[in-house]
Structure 1
Amino acid sequence: MKSFLSTLLITLLFSCQNTAQVNKKQQEVINAEPVAVKIKNGKARAYFASGCFWCVEAIYESVKGVEESISGYSGGHTKNPTYGSSNTGRTGHAEAVEIIYDPKVVSFETLVDVYFASQNVTQVNGQGNDRGSQYRSIIFYQNEEQKQIILKKKEALAKKLNVKIAAEVYPFQKFWIAEDYHQDYERLNPNHPYIQNVSIPRLNRFKAKFPKTLLKDNH
């Protein structure tokens, strides 16, 4: 009986963890120095993972100052991840978005606010029914200033809600663009059942709680 309980305890321990982190290569990604992406044509880039990228892409594109949101993969230890390989949970990658924005209109700090306001901040390894390490929540930082912004906001939110915030904080390394059919999915496939039943309701919940002055009128 004691042996059974010990085995059960170990199983539960690992099942509650992010399985993408239980290997040496993934730990090296977490401990790496961040890679900074240079501003190009006045536009900066930021990277977030928050469940299905179909949902997150549309959320960020509703924010003033965001020029484009691109779906892809980041946070893992393998090269050239695909939708199929990331879904195995063995690449370490999560579905992520690259946010191209005008820092004169919207700050990185506000983009982090968008991140926390648009998800279930306590759910580990997923959002809603999308579950697995490929759907886990990660905020990527490119320098120490961004890291401190993230950590302070995460700590303040945890204290305000009196909960543990699930989002992990990673040094940005590389963003791999997803397959073409994933891009602008909500806009191009408005009648898809997932878009109707998951993406649009999630977008509307976000818009209902976020300051209207920070949102675009036509999204």
Structure 2
Amino acid sequence: MKSITLALIFSVLLSCQNNAQSNKNQETVTNAQPVEVPIKNGKARAYFASGCFWCVEAIFESVNGVDEVISGYSGGHTKNPTYEASNTGKTGHAEAVEVIYNPNIVSFETLVDVYFGSQNPTQINGQGNDIGSQYRSIIFYQNDEQKQIIIKKKDALAKKLNTTIAAEIYPFQKFWIAEAYHQNYERLHPNNSYIQNVSIPRLNRFKAKFPHLLKDKH
């Protein structure tokens, strides 16, 4: 019995140690200096996380001025995250998207409006039935100007709704592209039950709310 008790104590201590190390690593991420991605061929890049990236990718791709959206992982402390690893919640990463856009057509500020307006902004660690830190909402800034835009809009939304907004604000560090089968998932798998029951309804709610931002306004 004593040996079992000691083993349990050691296991708890080891678990606490691992959690502390994980938290320390995550603090390094959140306190880091932001990395600014340069404009290339007239295109800028922005990074967002708000639940399943299948849903988020389709939403941003419907916005006029957005050229391409890539699904991936960001916000964590481990290198080369995979779908399986991120689903454990131990990597610190969330499912995220890289939005490649023309800043002469759509501004970062508008993309932030799209971000907050296309999710449940009060849900912590998830969207709908997708629960876990890998589905949490994070909005990434690359410089102080973007950070101030995000803070201003988050504070205004909190005041409007009279509640706490769940989105975390992180300095952008690195975006890891997800596995090939995740890319353009909603478009390539329109009959998938998740796409039918979750992604498409979420996209349609966004389109109804922001018709003036859509590529196809008809």
Q: Show CA shifts across 1:79-106 (max 9, x none).
A: 0000000000000000000000000000
Give the % identical residues.
81
Matched, 1:129 2:142: no
Q: Show CA shifts across 1:103-147 (max 9, x none).
A: 000000000000011000000000000000000000000000000
User: Residue 70 of structure 1 aligns to which amino acid in structure 2?
Assistant: I
SS at match of 1:187: helix
User: What residue number does 1:216 align with?
Assistant: 215
User: What residue number does 1:81 align with?
Assistant: 81
Structure 1 consecutive aligned stretches of length 4 or more whose deviation exceeds 6 Å: 19-22
User: What residue number does 1:172 align with?
Assistant: 172
Contact 1:21 1:27 in 2 (8 A): no
User: What residue number does 1:115 align with?
Assistant: 115
User: Residue 213 of structure 1 aligns to which amino acid in structure 2?
Assistant: H
User: What residue number does 2:92 align with?
Assistant: 92
SS at match of 1:68: strand
SS at match of 1:196: helix
User: What residue number does 1:207 align with?
Assistant: 207
Matched residue count = 200
User: What residue number does 2:188 align with?
Assistant: 188
User: Residue 171 of structure 2 aligns to which amino acid in structure 1?
Assistant: P
For the residues of structure 2 that align with 1:116 and 1:61, how far apart are their CA atoms? 16
User: What residue number does 1:65 align with?
Assistant: 65
For the residues of structure 1 that align with 2:41 and 2:22, how far apart are their CA atoms? 40
For the residues of structure 2 that align with 1:209 and 1:162, how far apart are their CA atoms? 20
User: What residue number does 1:15 align with?
Assistant: none
User: Residue 49 of structure 2 aligns to which amino acid in structure 1?
Assistant: A
For the residues of structure 1 that align with 2:21 and 2:112, how far apart are their CA atoms? 23
Distance 1:165 1:143, change over 3 A: same
1:217 shift after superposition: 0.7
Structure 2-normalised TM-score? 0.89
SS at match of 1:23: helix
User: What residue number does 2:5 align with?
Assistant: none
Q: Show CA shifts across 1:5-43 (max 9, x none).
A: xxxxxxxxxxxxxx9996100011000000000000000
User: What residue number does 1:48 align with?
Assistant: 48
1:218 shift after superposition: 7.5
Q: Show CA shifts across 1:19-70 (max 9, x none).
A: 9996100011000000000000000000000000000000000100000000
Matched, 1:27 2:27: yes
1:213 shift after superposition: 2.2
Contact 1:57 1:69 in 2 (8 A): yes
User: What residue number does 2:10 align with?
Assistant: none
User: Residue 69 of structure 1 aligns to which amino acid in structure 2?
Assistant: V
1:165 shift after superposition: 0.1
Q: Any gaps of 5 or more consecutive residues in structure 2? A: 1-18
RMSD: 1.6
Structure 1-normalised TM-score? 0.89
Q: Any gaps of 5 or more consecutive residues in structure 1? A: 1-18
1:216 shift after superposition: 1.1
Contact 1:20 1:90 in 2 (8 A): no
For the residues of structure 2 that align with 1:23 and 1:209, how far apart are their CA atoms? 38
